[in-house]
Amino acid sequence: MKIIKATLLIAFFFVFFYCCVETTTPEITAEATYTGSEKCQSCHAKEYSAYNSSDHFHAMDTALPRSVKADFNNSFFVYYGDTSYFYQRDGKYLVKTKDSAGKKTEFTVSFTFGWKPLQQYLVAFPDGRIQTLPFCWDTRPKEQGGQKWFHIYNKENILPGDELFWTGVNQNWNNMCADCHTTNFFKNFDIVSNTFHSTWNESKVSCESCHGPASLHLQWAEKKTATDSLRGFAINLEGETVHWAFNKEKGIAYPDKIVQNNTLVETCARCHARASHISDYYHHGQSFLQTHIPATISTASYHIDGQIRDEDYEYGSFLQSKMYAKGVTCTNCHDPHTMQLKAEGNAVCYSCHAPEKFDTPDHTHHMATGTGAKCVNCHMPVTTYMVVDDRYDHSIRIPRPDLSETMNTPNACNKCHKDKTVNWAATNFKQWYGDKIPKDKTYGELLYAASKNDAGSEPALFMLLSSPAYPAIAKATAMEQYNQFATPQIMEQVRANLQSPDPDLRLNALHSAVNFPENILLSNVAALLNDPVLSVRTEALNTLVPIYNQLDDNTRQRFGAVLNEYLGIQQNQGDRPESYLNQGIILAATGRLPEAEQAYLLGLKRFPKFIPLYGNIADLYRSQNKEAEAGDYLRRGIAIQPATPLLHYAYGLWQIRNKHDAEGMGELKKAVELNNADPTYTYGYAVALYSKHREAEAIAMLEKFIAKNGNNPTIVQGLISFYSDQKQAAKADYYSNLRKTMFGY
C-alpha cells in the first residue's frame, strides 16, 4: 500500500483522462460488417487476452463442459416442496422440472448465461423462443456460501401461469436479455406466426459489440491510411485527451476543460442501463435513445432521491454523479477489456482524491483498517440483486442520514450499522460534517418537495429545472413524474428542454408537455416529429394524438410517417402484451377503429391474462355504442383478476350508463377501496355520490384525498365544482386560486 501511495503522489499534479469522441470521417465509405472477435487476436493480443477473462467474454456460451459451472451430476433442488433434477445424457445437460402446464418435463439446456457470481441456463423451444430457467448456480467459492443451486425468486413461490414463471413472457431471452449477451442481435419476431427467427453473430459481448463492426478496420490495417483517424471504425471510444491537475487545498483533481465522452458512456449504456429496447438497428456512435428508451430515476425503480432500489445497471446512477458531470467515464475506473477496477480498494479513488486528505480517520471517522474506511462503503453502498449479486450505487454520493429522517430514504451509514437508528446516524453525521454539508438543496430534496403536491412543490420543481447545477437525469425525471404543474415558469422550462441538445431531456419534456394548452402543445411539439432520434419523434407522436384532428395537412403527413415507424416497433415487440395495447390505443385515437379492435383481440388471444387489454377493448366498444360487448369484456377481465381497480371503475361507469345505479355505485366504491391513491377513482366515485344527493360525503371524500395525498388538479377541480354548486364562494375561490398558483390552469 505504501508503494502505491508514493507512486500516486508523484503523479498527482498531472492526471490524464480520455474524454470526448473523435469525429473524423473515415476514408472508407462502404458499410462495415461484423468479422468476429477472433480476428482481433493477431494485432491486439494483450487486449484480447485480457478480454478472455472478462464477464463480457463469458456473457453467454453453448452448454459444453468448458462453460457449464453447475452440478449436473444427478443433483436436485427443492423449491417450495417441488423437486427439480439436473443430469447429463449423451453429452447433453438436462433439467427435469415443471412446464407451463405444471407437468414435470425434461428440457435440454442450450446455453449458459453469465458465469459469476451466478450462472443461469437457457432452454430453446421449437418456436424460436429461448427461455431462462429459474434455477441458478451460485459460482462463488463454497466458503463464501456458493457452489449450490438456488431459485432466482427464492422467497416467492412462482407457479405455472404466473407472469414470472420461467416459460412466460417475462423470462423470455429473445426480448429481455439477448441484445446484451450477444453481438449484432436481431430479434426478428414474426407477429403473424407468433414465432422468433432471432439471429446473432457471437454468443458473447465481443470486441465488435463496443468498437463496432470491424471489416473496414481490417481493410485499413492493410493500408494504414494516415488520413483516416478512425482507422476504419465509425467511432473512437478513447477520445480527446483532457489534463487533470490536483487542487492542493481541496485534494481533488479537476480537468482543464469539461468534455463528456457520451459516445463511450452510451456505448456502455446499451447494456448497463435500465431501458426499453425499441429497435435492433443500432449504428455505433449514434444516440443511445435511437434504439432504447432509458428509464429515468423515477420512484418506479429508484428511491425519491435517486438511490438504487430495483436493478439499475449503473447508467441511471452514474448520470447523477459529480464524476460524470466533470467528464469522468466508465473506463477511468474500469479496465475496458478485463472490466475489473484499475486498482484495488481505495487506490482506485486516489487518481482524483488525495489519500492524505481523504484516506484518513479525520475524514472517515472510522478506523483505518475497518470497513468504514473503504470509500465505496460510504459513497457507493451495495444492494444485492438476483439473490447473490452485489451492485454498487454509481451515483457516488455523499451519505446523508440527516435527509433519511425527513425523506424516508436509505443511507450508507445505516446499511452498515443496522442495529442503530436513523436518528443516531444523523446525529453523528451532523457532528462530524456539520460545517461541510452543502448548503444548497440536493436534487433529491427538490424531487421530494415536488412529490408532496403542496405549496412548496411548484417552486421546488422550478428550482430543479432552471438551475444548471443539477444533473440532467434529475430534470428528466421531474418532467416525467410531475407533469401536473403547468405554471408559466414551468412551461417555459419545459419548452426550453423540448429544444435541448440532450435527447433524454427532449423525450421527457414531451411527457411534461401533455398538460400544455392545445395551441402551445401544437406549436412546440409538432416540430419534434422530425427529430433525428427515434424515441423522441415517436413520443412526439403520442403527445400529439389527443389533438390529431387539429393537425394541418403537412403535419398530419409527417405524423403518418412516424406512426408507421411506431407501429413497426410495436409489431416487432409483438411477443409482449403491451405491444397490442399500444397498437390499439394509437389506432383508435387516429380513427382506425377496426384495426384497433383486431389488435386488441389478437393481444387477448395470445395474452388472455393481460388485464389492460380488457379495459381498452371495452372502451373501444363503448365509443361505438356496443355496450353489450363492452360489459362482457369488463366482466371477463374482473373474473381473471378481481383485484384490478381499473376494471371495477370502468364496470361501475358501464353499470351507471346502463341504468344499474346501485350496482354501478358499488363498483366505483370497490375501485377506490382497491386504490385510494388514484385521483381518477376518487373523483369518479365522488361525482357519482354528488349526483345521488350525497353532497357532504362527496366533498369529504375529496378533502380527505388531499389531506392524505396532497393537492391534485383533478381533485381540486372537483372541489371547485362542488363548492360552486353549493354556493360556497369562499371555498370555491380558495381552490380556484390554489389550482392557478400550483398548476397554472
Q: What SS3 class is residue 104?
A: strand
Residue whose C-alpha cell is 442481435: 185
**Could you tell me how many helices (H) and strands (E) the chain has, helices first?**
33, 19
Give φ, ψ of 641 to 5 degrees: -135, 85
d(Cα 497, Cα 495) in Å, to the nearest integer? 5
Distance separating alpha carbons of residues 558 and 412, to the nearest angstrom: 50
- Position 614 scores a pLDDT of 98
CA dihedral 704, 705, 711, 717 (to 10 degrees): -90
Phi, psi of 363, deg, nearest 5:
-90, -45
- Where b means 16+ CB within 10 Å and e means fewer, 404-426 reads bbebebbbbbbebbeeeebeebb
319: enclosing H helix or E strand: none
CA distances for 28 relative to 224, 231, 232, angstroms: 11, 9, 7
How far is it, in rounded angstroms, from Cα 455 to Cα 462? 13
Question: Would you give the end-to-end CA distance of the chain in angstroms?
Answer: 62
Q: Which of left, alpha, beta for 531 (phi over 0: left; psi -120 to 50: alpha)?
A: beta
Burial track 427-450 (b if 16+ CB lie within 10 A, e otherwise): eebeeeeeeeeeeebbbbbbbbbb
Q: Do residues 507 and 289 touch, judged by C-beta distance below 8 A?
A: yes
CA 116 to mean position of chain CA atoms: 23
Of 192, 182, 126, 121, the C-alpha closest to 575 is 192
State residue 284's pLDDT score: 94
Residues of the chain under the 70 pLDDT cut: 1-29
C-alpha cell at 563: 406512426
Question: Which residues are registered as beta bridge partners of 106?
Answer: 96
Residue 4 CA to residue 678 CA, distance in Å, equals: 57
For residue 151, list its beta bridge partners: 135
Rounded to whole angstroms, what are the CA distances from 127 to 184, 606, 668? 21, 14, 43
Question: Mind giving me the DSSP string for 82-103?
Answer: EEEEEEEETTEEEEEEE-TTS-
**Separation of alpha carbons 151 and 678, rounded Å:** 35
Geometric angle at alpha carbon 525, from 522 and 529, rounded to 5°? 115
339: alpha, beta or left, given left = phi > 0 and alpha = psi -120 to 50?
Answer: left
The answer to whether the CB of 686 falls within 8 A of the CB of 696 is: no
Q: Is 368 left (phi over 0), alpha (psi -120 to 50) or beta?
A: alpha
* Phi, psi dihedrals of residue 307, rounded to the nearest 5°: -70, 150
Question: Is the dihedral angle over the CA atoms 578, 583, 586, 588 positive or is it negative?
Answer: negative
Show the beta-strand stretches assigned E in 248-299.
252-255, 275-277, 292-294
Strand partners, 241: 18
Q: In 312-330, which positions are buried (b, 16+ CB within 10 angstroms) versus exposed (e)?
A: bbbbbbbbbbebbebbbbb
Per-residue confidence (pLDDT) for residue 3, from 0 to 100: 32
Q: How far apart are CA 726 and CA 671, in angstroms?
A: 27
Instruction: Enumerate the β-bridge partners of residue 553.
Output: none
Question: Do 536 and 510 contact (CB within 8 A), yes or no?
Answer: yes
Q: What is the reported pLDDT for 11? A: 33
C-alpha cell at position 400: 446523508
* pLDDT tens, residue by residue, 301-353: 999 999 999 999 999 999 999 999 999 999 999 999 999 999 999 999 999 99
Task: Give Cβ neighbours of residue 446 (< 8 Å, ≥ 6 apart).
Answer: 460, 461, 463, 464, 470, 474, 478
Output the pLDDT for position 228.
Answer: 85
CB 346 within 8 A of CB 359: yes
Dihedral angle over CA of 687, 481, 470, 513, nearest 10:
-80
Any idea what the Cα angle at residue 168 is, between residues 163 and 170, rounded to 5°?
65
Segments making up each domain of the chain, as ranges:
60-196
Residue 71 burial (CB count, 10 A): 15
Distance CA 557, CA 460 (A): 40
Dist CA 338 CA 51 (whole Å) = 5
Q: 541 Cβ partners below 8 Å, 6+ apart? A: 529, 559, 562, 563, 566, 586
Three-state DSSP class for residue 76? strand
Angle between helices 679-691 and 661-674 (to 10 degrees): 150
Contacts of 471 (CB under 8 A, 6+ apart): 319, 320, 321, 324, 325, 443
